[in-house]
Amino acid sequence: MSVRRLWASASTLVLAASVALGVAQPASATSPAAAGGYVALGDSYSSGVGSGSYLSDSGDCHRSTKAYPYLWATQNSPSSFAFVACSGATTGSVASTQLGALSSSTTLVSVTAGGNDVGFADVMEDCVLYSEATCLGSVNAAVSQMQNALPSGLGSLYGSIRSRASQAHVVVLGYPRFYQLSGDCIAGLSETERSAINNASDVLNGVIAQQAANAGFTFSSVVDEFTGHELCSGSPWLNSVTVPVYESYHPKSAGQSGGYLPAFRSAA
């Protein structure tokens, strides 16, 4: 959605090589969400991996001043701001290590989670390094996990968030599609592989949206915001394989400010 992610942190050089998701107008100063405490939970897509400008005290979590939670807090000045999203986080690790930031005074929560649960970093490794058949097999296995195992992990996490912050407005954000099909990439993955990866992102977002609805949370897609800015477009907001390798397949700063921030602001 990190580094084991589409969505995660490259734990090996191989994973690294393979792996691995506009200027916004400030929200109104009278925004109800700005009146209380804001907590930003989640994985690398919330911590800001790929956008640079990492906070020195965030270590391997790679929390960025260019990440959408930091940008929103800067613009809206909530009464308190806890930025605890961390690269590589799963639904389980968000639940076990990040929810201490929530309290009865929390009025706004954002979260991205799910990509690392289904091993999308491994999927990208297989797709970049191996055959089309291997890639498609990995994508299909990830989709199976999304449909069969992920709902319970998301449901458990969302239930824990609600129990700790009973009055909070919770915004769950999704992940972008990675590729513009029939785009300007002249090498790399096949169109079949790119299409399969995009379709898997759609399945993932659908599962997340359903579980968010079940919990009474607000789901905000970022697919529309990233349309025209995928890989193989003329203006990508996502990194392809890059250095440092943990930034591969994560949003650039433009993806945070032009993609995630508007999607969060409209829902917050």
Q: 251 forms bridges with which residues in the sheet?
A: 238
Give the 3-state secondary structure of residue 150.
Answer: helix
d(CA 37, CA 165): 10
Q: How far is CA 24 from CA 39, 208, 222, 231, in A?
A: 20, 25, 14, 22
Active site residues: 44, 250
Please identify which residue in the block is written with the tokens 């580094």: 3
Instruction: Give the residue among 252, 250, 188, 242 at the shortest CA–CA distance from 22.
Output: 252
Based on the number of CB atoms within 10 Å of its own CB, is 183 exposed (0-12), middle (13-18) or buried (19 or more)? Answer: middle
Based on the number of CB atoms within 10 Å of its own CB, is 209 exposed (0-12), middle (13-18) or buried (19 or more)? Answer: middle
d(CA 11, CA 142): 19
CA angle 223, 159, 78 (to 5 degrees): 65
Whether the Cβ atoms of residue 94 and residue 111 lie closer than 8 Å to each other: yes
Compute φ and ψ for 130, nearest 5 degrees: -120, -165
